[in-house]
Structure 1
Amino acid sequence: MQAAPLLKDLVLVGGGHAHVHVLKSFGMKPMPGVRLTLIGRDIETPYSGMIPGFVAGHYSFDECHIDLARLSAWTGARLIHAEAIGIDRDNRQVLLKDRPPVTYDFLSIDVGSSPSVDALPGAAEHATPVKPIAELGRRWLAFLERVKDWQGSLRIAVIGGGAGGVELALAIDHRLRAIAHKAEVSVTLTTKGEILSGQAAAARRKIRAIFQRRGIRLLENVATTRLEDGTVLLENGERLAVDDVFVVTEASAAKWFAGTGLPLDLRGFFAVEPTLRSTGDERIFAVGDCASVATHPRPKAGVFAVRQGPPLAENLRRALLGQPLQPFTPQSRYLSILGTGDGHAVATRSGWAIEGAWVWRWKDHIDRKWMRMYCEPPAGPMDMAARNAPPDPALADAEAKRLLADIGMRCGGCGAKVGANVLTRVLGRLGPSPGSNVTIGLDAPDDAAMIEVPAGQALVQSVDFFRTFIDDPFAFGEVAAVHALGDVWAMGARPHSALALAVVPAAAERLMEEDLFQMLSGARSVLDRSGCALIGGHSGEGPEAALGFSVNGLVVAAKALRKGGLRPGDRLVLTKKLGTGVIFAAAMRGVARGRWIAEALAAMRTPSDKAAAALIAAGVHACTDVTGFGLTGHLAEMIRATGRGDEVSVDLHLDALPALDGAVELFAQGLASSLQPENLRARHLIDGMDRMAGHAKLPLLFDPQTAGGLLAAVPAEVANTIEGVVIGEVHARTEGRSFIHLV
């Protein structure tokens, strides 16, 4: 079914509690013609209500984090893994760190807050801030590894007497006493006022009693003046000797908020109306800890962020359609449940407080129920018919209405080309490629590019093209360029120039421009670093985005690396991990973890130029890149290309094969790339398939790779000096011996 043409971009910055609800809402009830994009610095977003339980050891990391990659896959949202650093409101763009900005029609911000570490001298150097919470999770796991064999005194200070500080101190005390068996654990909580100020006096009394019973030192009404290495200095002159410090002080706003020109409250957070829309820009919304509703001031707590999800989703829909927004008034009285780390909790509301194990079970039930809504795939398929239905005319501006009028009559000949205006603007934004000896190219356009080949060098050419498999067009452009240049690097050549073939789906003109610009910007970031000039190409419309390159390289012919040339005694070195095929097959089904996808993308976006240079310096005998045919297919090509193909065989060590995180686990679940069955035809070249049938890494031999590493044969004496993994040895082939022997 043809997807509805895109008319509007709704961009969410941050994976906070309200935004995950918006993702699910738009997934279950799509708005045809609206593209939903989530920009997140972290691929896994924590649920703040469960973090103290995670610190105490009651939850695993995965149990208290929402995987934004899987949630986006289930709901049809586009995920861009990047950090927002500002907003260009004049051009309606979100500014991102280390990559081009992303445009929006409507924007919502839910990036949370951070402790005010700048206000406490020495905190930035000598303390662990609790926010961003996503960083706390990783730091806490590393901290536990460091202290599990600790001997002697283990002294921890928590600074901040709000609900977060109280829960954290209790959780740390419980966890450390359980894991650091040889240590003498002592936890101190310091606060400049009373603990739990603003909550019921009954709650404060219960918490103080719990601290006393557990032996946790509580210092109230004593401000911290400075942190030094191993010391907390208090205003009363006391110096606390500590081994680590956790800061849970009053929340502060991100510094980039001030540069947006949007109205802020006195503490620097976005000022929003009861509709959750900015008081200064009708296209921007903000929720959660990063925003304040002046008419309904509330504490910065997860309970309010969760409640903002449904009204935010509804008002974003209304804004897209030009309808009046609905105000939202949060409850003034709310239930607060504080975990004490030891399987108990204290519940407080208004003037009362109760404590018990059953209160913890109640909290645990509430938290797990909320997490299941966003961590488990939908029970039934999403409404694809609704997603592909014609867009509501109210979404369309004049330019978009022209697209809707002729969408059914767009021709597939020259009319399938991207419009000249779009292309001209994209090329202008990209700017010229760094200098090369291209006589005619983008800097001096003509009907074709013209290249001068230096005397004594040969021109190496290759081509690659594939449709997108990720939603981030910039990252896709990077991967496409690395993949295309792989053949040039595998031959020991220097990349010189490239022609692009880009396909973008029909959409409003400015959306097509942005998609094309993002793809080519990602590609240019790789091409430019590799000294490869983009000299031209072709762009067209299609049902889905696709990108490829015809690349040129230069090499002295006599020094070119070839697939053939394996010598008995050589070691086989692989420069990248395997598993991209199965990981992205799983990603398309929404079952690959976000951190697996992130690691795979990082490898795929890494050029092989340095690896190729190291292999050349080591005296490499033969080389190829591992791509669609999988490791076995490309290794078989190297064996066949050596002599008549019957001179050598290879011992391949399955245990040594480097695998991307998640790949082996996904194979065990029965998942595989759609190309893997074709690659399995090479199994007849392998001896030991039956013997190794149960080996967890066996499927890696046939997994197709995108932008994979180099596979090279190097002399044995230098194999361990090269950055890569030795996976086998080359032998003289004897009669009856298979091409590849598994060991």
Structure 2
Amino acid sequence: MNKNSTPIVSDLVLLGGGHANIQVLKMLVMNPIGGLRITLISDQTHSPYSGMIPGYLAGYYSYEECHFDLRRICEELGQRFIKAKIIGIDPQRKKIQLENRPEVSYDCASINVGIAPQSLENSSAEAALKLIPLKPISRFIAHWERLIVDLKAYKGSESLQIAVVGAGASGVEISIILKMLIDQHNWNAEVSLIHRHEFLVSAKDISAQRRLSKTLEELDIKVFKNTQALKEQENGLVLKDDKGLAQTKDFYRVLTATQAAAPQWFTHSGLPVSPDGFVKVNKNLLVENEHDLFAAGDCIHFSPSPLKKAGVYAVRQGMVLEHNIRAFFTGKTALKTFHPKKNVLSLITIGERKALVHQDSASILRWMWPSLLWTVKDGIDRRFMKRFQAKTFSVKPRHFDNAMPMPKTTLVPEDWESNTCGGCGSKLAASTLTLSLNKLDIPTDDAVLLGVKDGEDCALTRFSEHTLCLQSIDQFRSFISDPYMLGQIATQHALSDIYAMGGVAKTAQVGLTLGAANKKIQQEDIFQVMSGVLDILTQSAASLVGGHTGEGAELAISLAVQGEVAPEQVLRKQLTQPGNRLILTKPIGTGAIFAANMLAQANGKLVDQALSSMLQSNKTAMEIIKSFSVSGCTDITGFGLLGHAFEMMGKNTGQALGVKIDYKAIPLFDGVDELFAKGYYASIAEENYRSLSAVLDAEISNQKFPALFDPQTSGGLLFSVPSDQTEACLKALHQNGVTKACVIGEVIDRREIVVI
């Protein structure tokens, strides 16, 4: 997010969280360009550092130690992170195409995405399940962990046969680590290494070949040299040796570390590519024939002198890439040339914290003991990762100043005039708004007689004469840097009030406040936010009928929603039946998660988990529970679980009823307990407690029972059903995707809040 008041005038988009792009992000923030906004797009929150993955597989590193937490890095640096799959790029229109969401515009972009091995042919779905590609690494790790679980559980008498195809550095390392783990734990399995050459890793480094061969022999890894893996069939892996003889061997799993393949969208986008599909770049890391599109890492074909696929090149390209991107925006310096080293040094893991040197030229490191080499490699890797890992606090700091360096250069014109007016003088220009709205595909609705594109002062709608009208409004500041997702979550949050009363959403109007930026940037931001809004409204069969825009200190959104409900289907907050069970449909903890995220202290996976829940509509839960005898229903939002439960008590006028909450039964997002323990509470959490303190026992406090007072954004429904319907209600919710729904307490026959 743009955390300063400098107007935004240009967009740099980093495609992929590879080693080079990560460096560009960090260096441009530490020496910023005024008016430049940086957006990192990746389909994974955690990007692996390839140099430490063998150590992770061997158990020497934790997941966090060897992965860049992209969401957390961007939050700490005050830049945008969009989690999305890239499916194409249009260099002429300067648009990034993403899966299941709108295009993203750029002024300059840098491609540093992952690669995959060339896949083996397979004859069936069953055969394909046996194949485990080593790239992308994030997917491989998930397969690896399942393989380890299978090896632990296997009790058969015959050894499980596992093959590794490809004897480059990664294939050899994986073979050694897997066999090392098998021997350490006495698992009943054997490992074979299959490769199409006579040599291991490299034909030139004879010394490394001898030592690797000795290590493989000592570990009893069977090596198939000069052997090509053709395809995986139901009855096994088809192999062909150098004499052309074919044989089929049955393997439990086949790990493929074969020659790399480029993302298909390079070719589909019309980018200049090499014969094997990698994007061509010149000496300045510019995509050929482009002046505003760079690329680096394994995904490129370096036209001046083609390079091996090695992470060390991406690391070394980072500084050149940052310099050239800076030169593109400022125009103050000439572009630098990337000069790759002729011989790349590799340190290959060969066992229990041991490594050996592989290089096509002489190196003094060859004379080091393998254990000392591992120590050297470990130190290099840890120092590199430390540059990009956010500082972690043991407890929430009382004062936290995350001020970024001030720009020494700026893209903002000297004659820039900010909109400092109030009232209607703070509105955006009609042209800015119109151009953004015209890009949106707004569905037609017969019930909307005059809508958002008709230009009238009000929307005109006509609904059934036999239903009641529901109206609600919500507003909040941006809490995430992805504008499309902000629009989605804000809309789900607003519509939830309609669903909590048993209604059907019909229309919505949107209020947007945008930060200072030029017209192009503001048009793009309106388009992104409103695309998210429209996405959820369309899913909910509701219509966008109007709105308002203005300029302010930061991005904020409000929604006024309208719905309808039949009189006999209205769900009220009031509790009516003692003994009823209280059911909550979503976990608690979004307040604490985003309080920590503001300080870059929340793990990216935890934030992803919360966002996924916030995107889940309460419409499904509402439609299911209406078939049960529900009494008392509300959605959990800013007042926290206990605040909204108290409202359910307050609505009862016929008899004195209260609630008993089983605190340990409250579902929490993974990791929230740890955040609570460190003191991460949303700013309103303490006020939520104070508002109820007069009716609570003295031992209940925000510090002891934080989940009761944590404010939720797009939280779940809380309702009560008779005890004899509870099991059937939960079963119906779970079967329809509301999997976290659970009983957290019951209604009691006295006006009291009891927490056990």
Shared fold, TM over 0.5: yes
- Residue 453 of structure 1 deviates from its aligned partner by 3.5
Q: Deviations over 1:130-184 (max 9, x none)?
A: 11111112222232223212123222110011111001111111223334x3x32
Q: Deviations over 1:531-578 (max 9, x none)?
A: 110100101111111111100000112321000133111111111111
Inter-partner Cα distance in structure 1 for 2:96 and 2:694:
52
Task: Name the aligned partner's letter for residue 142 of structure 2.
Answer: R
Q: Does structure 2 retain, via aligned residues, the 8 Å contact 1:416–1:541?
A: yes
**Match for residue 447 of structure 1?**
457
- Residue 411 of structure 1 deviates from its aligned partner by 2.3
Structure 1 unaligned residues grouped into runs of 5+: none
**Match for residue 190 of structure 1?**
194
Please, which moves more after superposition, 475-484 or 614-623? Answer: 614-623
> Aligned runs of 1:365-404 on 2, under 5 Å?
365-377=379-391, 384=404, 386-387=406-407, 392=410, 395=411, 401=413
**Match for residue 9 of structure 1?**
11
SS at match of 1:503: strand
User: Structure 1 residues 599 and 27 mapped into 2: Cα distance closer, same or farther (>3 Å)?
Assistant: same
> Aligned runs of 1:120-135 on 2, under 5 Å?
124-135=128-139
Q: Does structure 1 retain, via aligned residues, the 8 Å contact 2:575–2:652?
A: yes
**1:214 lines up with 2:225 in the alignment:** no
**Match for residue 30 of structure 1?**
32
**Match for residue 205 of structure 1?**
210
Q: Does structure 2 retain, via aligned residues, the 8 Å contact 1:111–1:290?
A: yes
2:693 aligned residue (684, 692, 704): 684
**Match for residue 463 of structure 1?**
473
Please, which moves more after superposition, 685-694 or 549-558? Answer: 685-694
**Match for residue 715 of structure 1?**
722
Q: Does structure 1 retain, via aligned residues, the 8 Å contact 2:30–2:404?
A: no
Q: Deviations over 1:448-483 (max 9, x none)?
A: 112224112111000001110100000000010001
Inter-partner Cα distance in structure 1 for 2:441 and 2:510:
15
Inter-partner Cα distance in structure 1 for 2:25 and 2:481:
15
Q: Does structure 2 retain, via aligned residues, the 8 Å contact 1:44–1:68?
A: yes
**Match for residue 731 of structure 1?**
748
**Match for residue 755 of structure 2?**
742
Task: Name the aligned partner's letter for residue 713 of structure 1.
Answer: S
- Residue 121 of structure 1 deviates from its aligned partner by 6.4
**1:154 lines up with 2:160 in the alignment:** yes
Task: Name the aligned partner's letter for residue 153 of structure 2.
Answer: D
- Residue 185 of structure 1 deviates from its aligned partner by 2.0
Q: Does structure 1 retain, via aligned residues, the 8 Å contact 2:31–2:405?
A: no
Please, which moves more after superposition, 432-441 or 30-39? Answer: 432-441
- Residue 370 of structure 1 deviates from its aligned partner by 1.1
Inter-partner Cα distance in structure 2 for 1:607 and 1:198:
58
- Residue 112 of structure 1 deviates from its aligned partner by 2.0
SS at match of 2:531: helix
Inter-partner Cα distance in structure 1 for 2:700 and 2:467:
48
**1:177 lines up with 2:183 in the alignment:** yes
Q: Deviations over 1:76-127 (max 9, x none)?
A: 2200010100001221010000000100000000002110005676775430
Q: Deviations over 1:354-380 (max 9, x none)?
A: 552111121111111111111143999
**Match for residue 658 of structure 2?**
649
Please, which moves more after superposition, 274-283 or 92-101? Answer: 274-283
1:314 aligned residue (316, 323, 332): 323
Please, which moves more after superposition, 79-88 or 377-386? Answer: 377-386
- Residue 13 of structure 1 deviates from its aligned partner by 0.5
Inter-partner Cα distance in structure 1 for 2:419 and 2:101:
36
1:421 aligned residue (413, 416, 431): 431
Q: Does structure 2 retain, via aligned residues, the 8 Å contact 1:566–1:713?
A: no
User: Structure 1 residues 2 and 311 mapped into 2: Cα distance closer, same or farther (>3 Å)?
Assistant: closer
- Percent same amino acid among aligned pairs? 36
Task: Name the aligned partner's letter for residue 525 of structure 2.
Answer: D
Task: Name the aligned partner's letter for residue 274 of structure 1.
Answer: K
- Residue 208 of structure 1 deviates from its aligned partner by 0.5
1:66 aligned residue (62, 65, 68): 68
User: Structure 1 residues 363 and 341 mapped into 2: Cα distance closer, same or farther (>3 Å)?
Assistant: same
Q: Does structure 2 retain, via aligned residues, the 8 Å contact 1:262–1:281?
A: no
Number of aligned residue pairs: give it. Answer: 724
Q: Deviations over 1:510-544 (max 9, x none)?
A: 11001011001001111111111010010111111
1:167 aligned residue (163, 166, 173): 173
Q: Does structure 2 retain, via aligned residues, the 8 Å contact 1:157–1:190?
A: yes
Q: Does structure 2 retain, via aligned residues, the 8 Å contact 1:505–1:545?
A: yes
1:95 aligned residue (94, 97, 118): 97
Q: Deviations over 1:274-294 (max 9, x none)?
A: 111111211100000001211
Task: Name the aligned partner's letter for residue 510 of structure 1.
Answer: K
Task: Name the aligned partner's letter for residue 216 of structure 1.
Answer: I
SS at match of 2:683: coil
SS at match of 1:480: helix
Task: Name the aligned partner's letter for residue 214 of structure 1.
Answer: L
SS at match of 1:345: strand
- Residue 237 of structure 1 deviates from its aligned partner by 2.8
2:337 aligned residue (319, 322, 327): 327
Please, which moves more after superposition, 125-134 or 594-603? Answer: 125-134
Inter-partner Cα distance in structure 2 for 1:498 and 1:108:
38
> Aligned runs of 1:335-346 on 2, under 5 Å?
335-346=345-356
Inter-partner Cα distance in structure 2 for 1:111 and 1:124:
25
- Residue 233 of structure 1 deviates from its aligned partner by 1.7
Q: Deviations over 1:565-592 (max 9, x none)?
A: 3311111111111100000011110010
User: Structure 1 residues 298 and 198 mapped into 2: Cα distance closer, same or farther (>3 Å)?
Assistant: farther
- Residue 240 of structure 1 deviates from its aligned partner by 2.4
**Match for residue 48 of structure 1?**
50
Q: Deviations over 1:199-238 (max 9, x none)?
A: 5111111100100011011111100111124622211433
1:572 aligned residue (582, 607, 613): 582
User: Structure 1 residues 124 and 8 mapped into 2: Cα distance closer, same or farther (>3 Å)?
Assistant: farther
SS at match of 1:224: strand
User: Structure 1 residues 47 and 357 mapped into 2: Cα distance closer, same or farther (>3 Å)?
Assistant: same
Structure 2 unaligned residues grouped into runs of 5+: 394-399, 734-740
> Aligned runs of 1:268-307 on 2, under 5 Å?
268-307=277-316
Task: Name the aligned partner's letter for residue 250 of structure 1.
Answer: Q
Please, which moves more after superposition, 86-95 or 557-566? Answer: 557-566
User: Structure 1 residues 73 and 198 mapped into 2: Cα distance closer, same or farther (>3 Å)?
Assistant: farther
**Match for residue 147 of structure 2?**
143
- Residue 2 of structure 1 deviates from its aligned partner by 5.5
Q: Deviations over 1:285-340 (max 9, x none)?
A: 00000012111322110111111111111111011113421111011123210001
User: Structure 1 residues 357 and 28 mapped into 2: Cα distance closer, same or farther (>3 Å)?
Assistant: same
Task: Name the aligned partner's letter for residue 459 of structure 2.
Answer: A
> Aligned runs of 1:340-739 on 2, under 5 Å?
340-351=350-361, 353=366, 356-377=370-391, 384=404, 386-387=406-407, 392=410, 395=411, 401=413, 405-408=415-418, 410-643=420-653, 647-684=656-693, 690=699, 698-721=705-728, 722=730, 723=733, 724-733=741-750, 739=752
- Residue 678 of structure 1 deviates from its aligned partner by 0.7
User: Structure 1 residues 378 and 617 mapped into 2: Cα distance closer, same or farther (>3 Å)?
Assistant: closer
SS at match of 2:139: helix
Inter-partner Cα distance in structure 2 for 1:627 and 1:107:
38
- Residue 428 of structure 1 deviates from its aligned partner by 1.2
SS at match of 2:544: strand
Please, which moves more after superposition, 59-68 or 591-600? Answer: 59-68
**Match for residue 252 of structure 1?**
261
Inter-partner Cα distance in structure 2 for 1:120 and 1:199:
33
- Residue 39 of structure 1 deviates from its aligned partner by 0.2
Q: Deviations over 1:26-68 (max 9, x none)?
A: 2211111000000011000001011111111212212211111
